[in-house]
Chain A
Amino acid sequence: MPAAEPLRFRLNGHPVEAPSPAPRILLDLLREDLALTGTKRGCDLGTCGCCTVLLDGRPTLSCLTLARLVEGREVTTIEGLTPPQGLSAVQAAFVRAGATQCGFCTPGFVVTATALLREHPHPTRAEVVRAISGNLCRCTGYTKIIEAIESAGRGGA
Chain B
Amino acid sequence: MAEAGAGPYRLLGGRIPYVEGPLKVTGRAEYTDDIKRPGMLVGRLLRSPWPHARLRRIDVEEARRMPGVFAVLTGERYPTPFGVLPITHDETAIAVGKARYNGDIIAAVAAADELTAEAALSRIRVEIDPLPEYSDPRMGTQRVAEPIHARGLNGSNIQKEVVQEFGDVDGAFARAAHSVRVRATFAGVTHAFTEPMATIAEATPDGRLTVWSATQVPHYLHRALSEVLGIPLHRIRVIKPEVGGGFGGKSDPLPHEIVAAALSIETGRPVKVLFDREDVFYTNHGRHPTQNDVRIALDADGRIAAYDIEALIDGGAWSSFGTVTTYYNGVLAMGPYRVPAFRYKGRRVYTNRPPSGAMRAHGGTNIRYAIEVALDRLAESTGIDPFDLRARNALPPNSTTINEFRITSTSFLQCLASARARSGWDAKFRRLPFGRGVGLGCGFYISGSNSPIHFTPKMPQSTVHLKVDMDGGIAVHSMQADIGQGSNTLLAAIVAEVLGVELERVHVQRVDSDVSPIDIGSYSSRVTFMMGNAARRAAEELRDRLLAAAAELLGRPAAELRVGHERFFVAAQPEVGVPFLDTLHRAMEKVGALTASGAYDTPPKGGTFKGARAGTAPAYSFAAYVAQVDVDPETGEYRAEKIWAAFDCGRPLNRLAVEGQIEGSIHMGLGQVMGESMNYRGARLFNPSLLEYKIPMPQQMPEIEILLVGEDDPEGPFGAKEAGEGPLIATLPAVANALYDAIGVRFTELPITPDRVLRGLDLRRQEGRPWKGS
Chain A positions near chain B (C-beta within 8 angstroms)? 35, 37-45, 47-48, 50, 77-79, 82, 87, 90-92, 94-96, 98, 100-107, 110, 129-130, 132-133, 136-146
Contact = CB atoms under 8 A, between A and B. Distances in A.
A72 to B, nearest CB: 25
A144 B244 contact: no
B18 A95 contact: yes
A94 B656 CA distance: 12
A84 B347 CA distance: 58
A47 B27 contact: no
Interface string B353-367: 000000000000000
Contacts of A95: 17-18, 21-22, 25
A104 B194 contact: yes
A96 B656 CA distance: 9
B664 A141 contact: yes
Contacts of A44: 276-277
B273 to A, nearest CB: 14
B25 A94 contact: yes
A140 B690 contact: no
B194 A138 contact: yes
B191 interface: yes
A100 B488 CA distance: 13
Contact of A42 (B15, B194, B485): B194
Interface residues of B, number: 56
B245 A102 contact: yes
B459 interface: no
9 contacts: A40-B195, A43-B277, A87-B22, A95-B21, A98-B660, A106-B27, A139-B484, A141-B666, A143-B704
Contacts of A132: 698
Contacts of B191: 138
A101 B18 CA distance: 8
B29 interface: yes
Interface string B715-730: 0000000000000000
Nearest to A144: B660
Max chain A Cβ within 10 angstroms of own Cβ: one of B30, B668, B690? B690
B660 A101 contact: yes
B690 A37 contact: no
The 10 residue pairs across chains A and B that have the minimum distance between CB atoms = A38-B27, A102-B484, A104-B244, A103-B24, A141-B667, A141-B663, A78-B27, A98-B656, A95-B21, A101-B484
A146 B703 CA distance: 12
Contacts of B696: 141
A130 B695 CA distance: 16
Contacts of B193: 102, 104, 138
Contact of B701 (A45, A82, A143): A143
B589 interface: no
Nearest to B657: A98
Nearest to A103: B24
B484 A43 contact: no
A77 to B, nearest CB: 7
A105 B36 CA distance: 21
Contacts, number: 169
Max chain B Cβ within 10 angstroms of own Cβ: one of A91, A96, A102, A136? A102
Contact of B15 (A47, A98, A107, A139): A98
Interface in B47-72: none
Interface of A, helix, strand, loop or mixed by DSSP: loop
B27 A39 contact: yes
B245 A133 contact: no
A99 B191 CA distance: 19
Nearest to B690: A47
A129 B194 contact: no
A146 B194 contact: no
Nearest to A146: B698
Interface in B186-211: 191-196
A96 B17 contact: yes
Max chain B Cβ within 10 angstroms of own Cβ: one of A79, A90, A91, A138? A138
A102 B195 contact: yes
B540 interface: no
Max chain B Cβ within 10 angstroms of own Cβ: one of A50, A98, A129, A133? A98
Contacts of A82: 26-28
Nearest to B669: A141
B27 A104 contact: no
A85 to B, nearest CB: 11
A106 B699 CA distance: 18
A101 B242 CA distance: 11
Contact of A138 (B17, B192, B701): B192
Contacts of B20: 100, 103
Contacts of B122: none
Contacts of A87: 22, 25-26
B546 to A, nearest CB: 31
Contact of B663 (A43, A129, A140): A140
Contact of B194 (A35, A78, A91, A137): A137
Nearest to B706: A143
Interface in B320-363: none
A140 B664 contact: yes
A102 B698 contact: no
B690 A48 contact: yes
A42 B194 CA distance: 6
Interface string B665-682: 111100000000000000
Contacts of A133: 697-699
A133 B24 CA distance: 20
Interface string B19-49: 0111111111111011010000000000000
A91 B18 CA distance: 13
Given A38-B26, A91-B26, A102 B196 contact: no
Contacts of B28: 38, 82
A11 B103 CA distance: 39
Given A103-B484, A137-B194, A43 B689 contact: yes
B38 to A, nearest CB: 14
A103 B242 contact: yes
B25 A50 contact: no
Nearest to B485: A101
